[in-house]
């Protein structure tokens, strides 16, 4: 886990750039959209951390988990086609982002979810 907020932001931005690179070379449109969704979320979480430098770990965690839940709900409704691929990528991006954030309650991420496990 990254030790400081700056390290978290740097790691998330690096992962976002890598996801954009993968999107460019994806074999299918759905693959490209999945990677773009991941890049969007990873960059967005990095920007949120940078903009909310005064927010405590609990506030950050709650916001990111809440945003993930919204993307997951959208993905559950639209699992097929381009929209499904984009929302699937967003959920994956949140899952990656949560591995680097400090969980104030020391829970493990990812958690067990019937749709994914």
Count Cβ atoms below 10 Å from residue 16 Cβ, excluding itself. Answer: 23
Answer yes or no: is 105 within a domain: no
Q: What is the pLDDT of residues 56-107, one digit of tens each?
A: 888 999 999 999 999 999 999 988 889 999 999 999 999 999 988 877 776 6
Any idea what DSSP says for residue 26?
Answer: -
Q: Is residue 64 a part of any domain in this protein? A: yes
For residue 83, the enclosing domain spans 5-100
pLDDT digits (tens, 9 = 90+) for 35-64: 999 999 999 999 999 998 888 888 999 999
Maximum C-alpha span of the chain: 41
Please determine, for residue 108, whether its predicted confidence score (pLDDT) is greater than 60: no
What pTM value is reported for the model?
0.86
Whether 112 maps to a domain, the answer reads: no
Residue 71 lies in a domain: yes
Residue 53 included in any domain = yes
For 5-36, what is each residue's pLDDT tens digit?
A: 899 999 999 999 999 999 999 999 999 999 99
In the chain, the number of structural domains is: 1
């Amino acid at each position: 886990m990254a030790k400081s907020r700056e390290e978290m932001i740097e790691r998330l931005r690096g992962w976002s750039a890598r996801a954009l690179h993968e999107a460019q070379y994806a074999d299918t449109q759905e693959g490209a959209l999945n990677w773009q969704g991941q890049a969007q979320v990873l960059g967005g979480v990095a920007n949120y951390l940078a903009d909310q430098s005064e927010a405590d770990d609990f506030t950050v965690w709650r916001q990111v988990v809440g945003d993930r839940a919204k993307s997951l709900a959208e993905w559950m409704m639209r699992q097929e086609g381009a929209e499904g691929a984009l929302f699937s990528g967003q959920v994956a991006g949140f899952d990656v982002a949560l591995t680097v954030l400090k969980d104030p309650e020391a829970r493990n991420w990812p958690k067990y979810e019937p749709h994914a496990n």
